[in-house]
Every structure is written in structure tokens, then in C-alpha cells.
Amino acid sequence: MADQGVVLSGRDAVALEEIDVAPPEHGEVLVRIEATGVCHSDQHVIQEDGWGHTYPVLLGHEGAGIVESVGDGVTSLAPGDRVVLGWKPACGECARCLAGRPRFCLRPPAAVGRVTRRDGTPLTPVLRTGTFATRTVVPAAAVVAVPAELPAEQACLIGCAVATGVMSVLETAKVREGDRVSVIGCGAVGLSVVQGARIAGASEIHALDLDPAKPEQALGFGATDVEPGRSDVVFDVVGRRATFEQGLSLLASGGTLVLIGLSPGGETAAVDLPRLFARRAHIVVSHGGDHLPAEDFPRLARWALDGELNLAAMVSRVAPLDAWDEALRTLGDAGVIRTVLTP
């Protein structure tokens, strides 16, 4: 059967198309996608005119699957491996990588031009992955083997929501045992922050959301409160003026506000500088929790298998790839934590 992918061909123009997938070249891996989560960032790409990606765009960036073939020079992976795709691999060559800070790599590698439309036009995979597809080609650094016992529908969440949420806690904010934590926005990333805070030993985890059902749901993932409270670390998983300003207002002295959510273009927030100074507050940005796929995915998968991380309860719905439209439309709806498509 021909390969298929969900293609954004211009502003708001999305369709399931037949695509061509070329064999992997040196250092690349061809993965048959088994499961892909539907994340707000895909919606962001559609709504923000490609969000820096050149049209036509192959959507999807939270995928798990099976290695089908590997290019020359790839020795760490073999056909048949169950893998999770990472959108933030390190190049190993830029100034940050050479300075020993691969989590802040300036030029994450991509496999350019391997996936095309039937007329040969190259597709730009979202965040270098492109997982709303039956198969895709990515650099080996973006492919991490995980135990085959972890179901693909759960494993795919590690690729974005879980890595972003949990690593925002452990890596970006470095939450310490006993810290009081607040999480504003309790979708898949927010619930992953809640779980990360539980793993880090936070003493209080306040789950906040405009939708009253979501904090209640967060209690099942480790949240301790559904009311706002003074916090050492606040995670703004939404990225709007109201949530950012609420986050600042909740900080305890010396506290840290972590901005995770993608804001729409032009969004601004007001900061009361004397109050910020008096509070000795820190504001930091989390790019996907500053995760490094090769280091973080194996331990996240292990925690999932050990029951430390509850991924099963985050998968609200499993649907075929051609249900992409409904999956995007119901993003963020009550009762939907993650829809997972199975190409």
C-alpha cells in the first residue's frame, strides 16, 4: 500500500495524501510509525502559518514505531527495534554541543528531502520528525530504542508531552524534594508536569485550569490541591497573558516561573518589576523541558514500565490516521487528554 501522510499545504489547508518515502541515507533511519500523539504544537503550526516550517509541511512530531531500515553508519539501531522519535536531538558539532551542553543544541539535525509529495515536492516534517504518516525518515540521533513491552500508543507520548512535562520539572526547573509546585494548564503536558513533580518529591502540587474537570483529573496523577497556593515553582503550560501573570502572582520568595506553553504571535504580559525584584523571582523558558532524547527517553520508558509514570491513563482515544481532522478539532476538549493516531 502507498504511504500516507497528513500534509499542511498552505494556510489552514490540511489533507491526508499519498506520499513517497525514500530509503534512509548515511546516518538516517526509516521508521514505520505505529502510533502518534496529537499535540497542540501541530495545531500551532496550522494556526501560525507554518510556524517557521516551509510549506508543504508533514504534520506530527510525537511518534513511536518500528525501525524498518537504517542507512550507512548506523550501528546503534537495527530493523525491528521499537523506538520513540525525538524532535530535539543534538548535532554534536555546534558551539553548545562542543561546550558540553547538548540539551541546548543550536542545530538539531534533520533528514531533509527524504519524504515527498507524489509529484516529488519535498515535505518539511514538523520539528524534523513528521509522524502523522505511515513511515518517515529521521536522523539516527532522533531515534531512541525503548523496551518492546511498552505499548506504542503509550510510548509515543514520551516523544513530546511526557518529555516536555517531566523534564521541565527535573531539568529546566530542577524541582527539589519538598518544593511547593503549581501547574497552570492540565492537558497532557500539564499532567506530565504533575507526574514529574510527584517523582521529584514536591510537597504540594496545585493543579489549575479554566476547565474545572481537569484539576480534578490531575488528582489521579499526583496533584494534591485544586486551588491556587503560594509556590516555589510555577509552570505556565498555557502561555497566555492571564496564565503568565497568574503564575507570577503565585510565586513565593525566590521562586521560579517556568514558561512552557507556546503563545500565539504577539502575545505580551505585564510584569510588576518592583514586585519581581522584591520576590527575587526567576523566569525561565522551557523548550520541551530541555530534554535530550538519547538520555531521557530510556529512563522515562523505564519509569512507565515500573508504574512511576502513568501513561496509560493519558491515552484517552486511539483512532486511525484518517481521523486526524477530528483529533485536531477535539484537542483540549474535556475528557480528551491525548488522542493517539495509529497509521
Binding site for Zn ion (CB under 5 A): 39, 41, 90-91, 94, 97, 105, 160
Nearest CB to Zn ion, comparing residues 126 and 251: 126
Nearest CB to Zn ion, comparing residues 155 and 281: 155
Q: How far is the CB of 84 from Zn ion (least distance, A)?
A: 13
CA 21 to CA 154: how far, in whole Å?
A: 25
Q: How far is the CB of 295 from Zn ion (least distance, A)?
A: 14
Nearest CB to Zn ion, comparing residues 34 and 179: 34
CA 201 to CA 294: how far, in whole Å?
A: 24
Q: DSSP states of 138-199 as a string?
A: EEGGGEEE--TTS-HHHHHHIIIIIHHHHHIIIIIS-PPTT-EEEEE--SHHHHHHHHHHHH
Q: How far is the CB of 183 from Zn ion (least distance, A)?
A: 17
Nearest CB to Zn ion, comparing residues 138 and 202: 138
Q: How far is the CB of 42 from Zn ion (least distance, A)?
A: 7
Cβ 135 vs Cβ 85: under 8 Å: no
Task: Kindly state the cell numbers that stand for 90.
Answer: 543534538
Nearest CB to Zn ion, comparing residues 29 and 90: 90
CA 36 to CA 294: how far, in whole Å?
A: 19
DSSP 133: B
Nearest CB to Zn ion, comparing residues 222 and 289: 289
Q: How far is the CB of 286 from Zn ion (least distance, A)?
A: 13
Q: How far is the CB of 241 from Zn ion (least distance, A)?
A: 22
Nearest CB to Zn ion, comparing residues 41 and 168: 41
Q: How far is the CB of 100 from Zn ion (least distance, A)?
A: 11
Return the closest-CA partner of residue 157 out of 262, 41, 61, 89: 61
CA dihedral (243, 244, 248, 250) in degrees, to 10, reads: 20
CA 68 to CA 122: how far, in whole Å?
A: 21
Identify the helix (H) or strand (E) that includes residue 19: strand 13-21
